[in-house]
Amino acid sequence: MTAWYIARKDLLLLVKDKRAVVLLLVLPLLFISIVGMTTGQFLTRDENNQRFKIAAVDRCETDLSRALLTRLEQHGELLVARMPSVEEGRAVLKRGEVSLLVMIGPEFQERADELRISDIVNSDHGPLAAGPASLDVSFESRPTALGLGRLLEGVLFSQVIKVVAPVAARKNPVTRAWMRDRSNDEADPDAKPLIPSPPTTGAKSSSAAYLWIVPGFTVMFAFFLISVMARSFISERDNGTLKRLLLAPIGTGSVLIGKTVPFFLTSVAQCLLLFVCGRLLFGMSWGPEPLYLIPVIICTSLAATSLGLLLATVVQTDQQVSSYGTTLILVMSGLSGCFFPREMFPPLMKRISLFTPHGWALRAFDGVLTQSHVEGPQVLACCAMLVGFAMLFITLGWWRFRSLS
């Protein structure tokens, strides 16, 4: 009961602290909304924003080159802007309006006419061994595109091959006969095409990005709680309240529980609020089995408040809270994948991220939100690791608190 009175008192003080309410509840939602607007998935929602934008310059101007551009425009994941000249194409690429510039050279038709079906089949050693340049097709991407430019080049070159393959196939009697039969089949309106056309719409779900944005910022701001918690301890100490509590016939455990429970409840409420807003405002999926979110949120909040307890017993001044707490939050968030999806981390960074409670929390959220079937034991194992971190932080915090008191 003593711990409950202390917890109720701290909870009332926390609610009255407008700065803490903004930091813990409003700021996370604001960050998620801003990221949603920059990715075109909130207020500025636009399906075209989810497609890769490329500029295309046709210097060949033949039926084959026009067929290539038409095929690229029909691809669901691409948004093609035709440019009248190379200079204008490079200008839009430089301004960052497109991710890649495709240039079809004047010899495209001539080089495609020289191909045979064996060249298509044996593309690694034949005339196509030089890649797009062998067909007078070239690509340019921005230096900041990292590996995206090369990935797009590979995808686009595969589309080039699909366009020129029929040209080469007509020179072979066997494939020419097969193409003739296929043309007859396609003349039948009830016949199904042997090779389906590229999808005309392939924009990603508007909630796809939130599957890592919401969990990432939820975990990061859950651990922002440690600064507020540390300031609460310092305020109690400076006002003399903490000393009076320790002089009263109250056990150390009751004091620590009473000081920790309000922040734990606040952290749980914060996480629930962000996921509810993610569902209502952004259409974010909660995965096939949303009930698994409950233990993950509880264990994440437990680890965050336990780290806050440890930090509160280490810092001595408000300036130390700002420097130590902010540094700890940003470093651990960056290492774990709160700012960037963990799936894109190199293997070494993935292993390093698991030395933080953030990494295990994100791994658990990923297992619940993005998998077609939730692996319960794996998610619960992540929760167990979070509880292990919490026990470690509580033990160290209790030891530090006893030594200080």
Residue 148's pLDDT is: 66
The predicted model gives 46-50 an average pLDDT of 56
Residue 316's pLDDT is: 82
Indicate if the pLDDT at residue 260 is higher than 80.
yes
Instruction: Give the range among 179-183, 234-238, 302-306 with minimum mean pLDDT.
Output: 179-183
Q: Which domains does the chain have, with CATH numbers?
A: 2-43+208-404 (no CATH), 52-187 (3.40.190)
The residue among 197 and 343 whose pLDDT is bigger is 343
Residue 196's pLDDT is: 42
Return d(Cα 300, Cα 106) in angstroms, integer.
Answer: 60
Residue 199 CB burial class (10 angstroms; 0-12, 13-18, ≥19): exposed
Query: What integer best gives the mean pLDDT of the chain?
Result: 79
Confidence bin at 59 (pLDDT 50/70/90): very high
Q: What angle do helix axes 210-239 and 27-38 make, rounded to 10 degrees?
A: 150
Residue 392's pLDDT is: 95
Indicate if the pLDDT at residue 34 is higher than 90.
no
Confidence bin at 261 (pLDDT 50/70/90): confident
Instruction: Give the range among 5-9, 42-46, 352-356, 367-371 with minimum mean pLDDT.
Output: 42-46
Which are the contacts of 149, defined by CB distance < 8 A and separation ≥ 6?
99, 100, 139, 141, 142
Phi, psi (degrees; rounded to nearest 5) at 82 = -80, 130
Instruction: Give the range among 6-20, 22-36, 37-51, 297-311 with minimum mean pLDDT.
Output: 37-51
Indicate if the pLDDT at residue 255 is higher than 80.
no
DSSP-based three-state secondary structure for 139: strand
CA angle 62, 65, 67 (to 5 degrees): 105
Return d(Cα 138, Cα 163) in angstroms, integer.
Answer: 16
Q: Enter the pTM of the model.
A: 0.67
The predicted model gives 104-120 an average pLDDT of 87
Residue 144's pLDDT is: 64
The predicted model gives 211-236 an average pLDDT of 83
pLDDT digits (tens, 9 = 90+) for 235-247: 777 777 767 766 6
The residue among 281 and 175 whose pLDDT is bigger is 281
